[in-house]
Amino acid sequence: MEPFRRLEGVACPLPLASVDTDQLIPARFMKTPRAEGYGRFLLHDLRFGADGAPTGALALDDPARAGARILVARRNFGAGSSREAAVYALVDAGFRCVIAPSFGDIFAGNAVNNGLLPAIVSEEDAERLLVALDAGLDHLTVDLETQTITEAGEPIPFEIDPVFREKLLNGWDDLDLTLARRDEIAAFAAADLERRPWAAPRLR
């Protein structure tokens, strides 16, 4: 995974609270192989009418926000289902950072595993950013090392779980790190079976 340090790019407002993963990608699109790209499914039912054309309801389809890499939303972003496809849809659509006052726990973990930064700001700062974006602000800079978001005015601090921060900064893939510990895991499992023999499923 590519390390994440500093991101400067077009930012897009999404002034909605509790944007759940069902909205980020409706269930019916999840049968698609990832290789075909998930970007076109992002927020599908909020964006497109019955004819498949954008309704213009979201700034996402405003030509001025083309190529947006940063999304700003309200609280409880990514609530609900554990579907990592919600993150695939954001990443495949070009996003590398979502700014919001709170995130669904599983969503935030999934995001980091795909190099997408979930940046937590205060409710006031989120509202301030939404107002500025609505008034025409188009670019933001997100610096993960200093944990700040800069626009024209004062830098806005953001929070991120320190473990998530390390993983993003280093581009770590847990799986590769864990595979190096195979022996340690096998030793644990053997000792654990002695301790908790009842934990093994009985019928096979």
Partner 1 sequence: MSPSAGRPRTLFEKVWDQHVVATRGDGTSLLFIDRHFVHEGSHHAFGKLAEKGLAVARPDLTFGVADHYVPTRRREAAIADEGVRSMVEKLSANTRAHGILLFGLDDPRQGIVHVVGPEQGLTLPGLTMVCGDSHTSTHGAFGALAFGIGASEVAHVLATQTLWQKKPKRMRIAFEGELAPGVGAKDMALAWIAKLGADGARGHAIEYAGSAVSALSMEGRLTLCNLSIEGGGRLGMIAPDPMTLSYVRGRPFAPEGALFDRAAEDWLALASDPDAACDREVVIAAGEIAPIVTWGTSPEDAAPITGAAPDPERMADPARAAHAREALRYMGLAPGQKLTDIRVDRVFIGSCTNARIEDLRAAAAVLAGRKAAVPGLVSPGSSLVKRQAEEEGLDRIFVEAGLDWVASGCSMCVGMNGDLVAPGERCASTTNRNFKGRQGPGARTHLMSPAMVAAAAVAGRLADARPLLQGRV
* Binding of residue 163 to partner 1 (CB under 8 A): yes
* Binding of residue 22 to partner 1 (CB under 8 A): yes
Secondary structure (3-state) at 132:
helix
Q: What DSSP line would sit under 142-194, residue for residue? A: EETTTTEEESSSS-EE-B--HHHHHHHHHT--HHHHHHTTHHHHHHHHHHHHH
Bridging pattern class, strands 70-73 and 117-120: unpaired
Which residue number, 10 or 20, has a Cβ lying nearer to partner 1?
20
CB distance 159 to 147 below 8 Å: yes
* Binding of residue 85 to partner 1 (CB under 8 A): yes
> How far apart are alpha carbons 82 and 27 in whole angstroms?
12
132-161 positions binding partner 1, by CB under 8 A: 161
In angstroms, give the least distance from the CB of 67 to partner 1: 26
> How far apart are alpha carbons 167 and 181 in whole angstroms?
18
- For residue 77, the 8-state DSSP code is B
Which residue number, 68 or 108, has a Cβ lying nearer to partner 1?
108
* Binding of residue 16 to partner 1 (CB under 8 A): yes
* Binding of residue 110 to partner 1 (CB under 8 A): yes
Distance of alpha carbon 80 from its chain centroid, rounded?
A: 13
In angstroms, give the least distance from the CB of 53 to partner 1: 15
Which residue stretch of 15-23, 64-72, 137-145, 146-154 sits at the interface with partner 1 (rule: CB under 8 A)? 15-23
* Binding of residue 102 to partner 1 (CB under 8 A): yes
CB count in 10 Å sphere of residue 103: 20
Which residue stretch of 77-85, 90-98, 133-141, 147-155 sits at the interface with partner 1 (rule: CB under 8 A)? 77-85
**Among candidates 76, 49, 74, 71, which has minimal Cα distance to 60?**
71
Which residue stretch of 2-10, 72-80, 135-143, 151-159 sits at the interface with partner 1 (rule: CB under 8 A)? 72-80
Type of residue numbered 104: G
**Which residues form the interface with partner 1 (CB under 8 A)?**
15-18, 20, 22-23, 26-28, 30-31, 34, 45-46, 74-76, 79-85, 87, 102-106, 109-110, 113-114, 123, 127, 161-163, 166, 174-175, 178-179, 181-182, 184-185, 188-189, 192, 195-204
